[in-house]
């Protein structure tokens, strides 16, 4: 019982870390609701308001860790079908809030007179988002893509990396060291490629839309999970590791923001800081004050439900902005945040949770192994 409570505390602390990442993303997209011209980018507050890249880095590292950590809990004798069912469950859970949003976008493009995006551009954007190729479409068609869907590049990269890492882990599941070696080589290659592109391409936004330049976070997280059997050899106590990681993330939030510094070594410093925080938080064997701070209910709830909130917040911000051009920005901001909270809460209760329960019972996606079912249910829920 005590070990279960400790495991739940560790999970809540990781959820809290994702909750912090979500707050950074929301702040960085707040320009759609409130004025940002008066906030100087070079100030710590200005950098924090533009730290969406840091938030996404945290999402990717934690997401990669949870993905491989869940797969490692599955018995190695499982056939490919069990891994495929786990993959299908995960992809469907990601796709559902996206598809509901795309349905709303198509309806708004017809019914909302303030939506000036050409119908053909909307249709092409919707197809690219629905097929998880949106980041590639944005690279090639930035001027005709729907701007209120721009943030969903992350979902495409996440799904692409999930497919890659799941297949890679299945191949090497009996030889964990081989998975670590291959993933490490891939990470080195991605870091080199991203640095090369940063020195060659003037369009840094297009550079960061490349799957090959943005999956470093997922690889870091995957390596953390795969190397967990060797964590005990670390000389640094988990609380110290967690504190060092969190402090480094705080410093980077206040100093890097959305500046070009992110494209250099500081971008990898963000991934390393997140990795240190994950190792420390996941390695704790008892409650720690820092864990309790991250495990507060509102922050953990944001992390647990970050997918739906991430998917929906930006289009809702744009919707409110289009209909409130003459409003004072405090009122516009309040309406935008309230609408986002209400919409996401309804979707989480009425769509996301019922779909998750259905996936655990549907014959094509439910776990076949009775021994792995409790593990997979807890992992899929995250």
* pLDDT tens digits for range 244-271: 999 999 999 888 877 777 878 888 999 9
Confidence band of 307 (pLDDT split at 50, 70, 90): very high
> Among residues 10, 18, 4, which one has the least CA distance to residue 287?
10
Q: CA 287, CA 235: separation in Å to the nearest integer?
A: 20
Helix, strand and coil content of the chain, in percent to the nearest 5, comes to 75, 0, 25
Q: What's the distance, CA 350 to chain centroid?
A: 22
Confidence band of 378 (pLDDT split at 50, 70, 90): very low
Position with higher pLDDT, 51 vs 329? 329
For residue 208, is pLDDT > 50?
A: yes
Range of the domain at 89: 2-380
Q: Name all contacts of 148-151 with Cβ < 8 Å and 24+ positions apart.
A: 148/105, 148/314, 148/315, 148/317, 148/318, 148/319, 149/105, 149/125, 149/314, 149/315, 150/314, 151/25, 151/29, 151/310, 151/314
How many structural domains compose the chain?
1
Average pLDDT, the chain: 87
Q: CA 181, CA 256: separation in Å to the nearest integer?
A: 31
pLDDT in tens, 166-203: 999 999 988 999 999 999 999 999 999 988 888 776 66
Q: What is the pTM of this model?
A: 0.91
State the angle between helix axes of 52-72 and 2-28 in degrees (0 to 180), rounded to the nearest 10.
150
For residue 364, is pLDDT > 90?
A: no
> Among residues 341, 320, 345, 342, which one has the least CA distance to residue 331?
320
Quick one: pLDDT at residue 264? Answer: 80
For residue 306, give every residue at least 6 positions away whose Cβ sits within 8 Å of its Cβ, in sequence order, or none. 18, 19, 21, 22, 59
Confidence band of 6 (pLDDT split at 50, 70, 90): low
Q: CA 115, CA 217: separation in Å to the nearest integer?
A: 35
Helix segments in 227-296, DSSP class H:
238-255, 265-283, 289-294
Q: CA 36, CA 55: separation in Å to the nearest integer?
A: 19
For residue 210, give every residue at least 6 positions away whose Cβ sits within 8 Å of its Cβ, in sequence order, or none. 135, 139, 197
Q: CA 379, CA 162: separation in Å to the nearest integer?
A: 14
């Amino acid at each position: 019982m005590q070990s279960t409570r400790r495991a739940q505390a560790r999970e809540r602390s990781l959820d809290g870390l994702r909750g912090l990442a979500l707050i950074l993303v929301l702040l960085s997209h707040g320009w759609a609701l409130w004025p940002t011209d008066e906030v100087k980018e070079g100030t710590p507050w200005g950098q924090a308001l533009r730290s969406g890249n840091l938030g996404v880095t945290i999402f990717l590292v934690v997401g990669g860790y949870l993905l491989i950590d869940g797969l490692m809990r599955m018995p190695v004798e499982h056939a490919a079908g069990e891994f495929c069912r786990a993959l299908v469950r995960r992809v469907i859970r990601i796709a559902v809030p996206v598809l509901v949003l795309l349905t709303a976008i198509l309806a708004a493009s017809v019914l909302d007179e303030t939506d000036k995006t050409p119908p053909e551009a909307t249709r092409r954007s919707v197809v690219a988002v629905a097929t998880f190729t949106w980041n590639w479409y944005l690279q090639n068609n930035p001027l005709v893509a729907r701007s209120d869907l721009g943030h969903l590049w992350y979902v495409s990269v996440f799904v692409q990396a999930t497919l890659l890492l799941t297949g890679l882990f299945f191949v090497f599941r009996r030889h964990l060291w081989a998975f670590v070696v291959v993933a490490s080589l891939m990470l080195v290659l991605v870091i080199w490629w991203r640095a090369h592109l940063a020195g060659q391409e003037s369009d840094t936004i297009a550079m960061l839309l490349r799957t090959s330049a943005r999956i470093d976070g997922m690889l870091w997280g995957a390596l953390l999970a795969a190397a967990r059997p060797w964590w005990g050899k670390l000389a640094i106590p988990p609380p110290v590791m967690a504190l060092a990681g969190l402090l480094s993330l705080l410093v980077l939030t206040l100093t890097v923001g959305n500046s070009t510094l992110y494209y250099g070594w500081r971008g990898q410093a963000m991934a390393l800081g997140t990795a240190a925080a994950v190792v420390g938080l996941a390695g704790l064997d008892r409650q720690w004050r820092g864990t309790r701070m991250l495990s507060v209910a509102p922050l953990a709830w944001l992390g647990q439900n970050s997918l739906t909130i991430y998917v929906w917040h930006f289009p809702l911000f744009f919707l409110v902005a289009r209909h409130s051009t003459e409003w004072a920005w405090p009122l516009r901001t309040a309406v935008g945040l309230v609408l986002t909270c209400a919409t996401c809460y309804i979707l989480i209760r009425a769509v996301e949770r019922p779909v998750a329960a259905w996936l655990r019972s549907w014959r094509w996606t439910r776990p076949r192994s009775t021994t792995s079912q409790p593990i997979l249910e807890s992992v899929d829920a995250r």
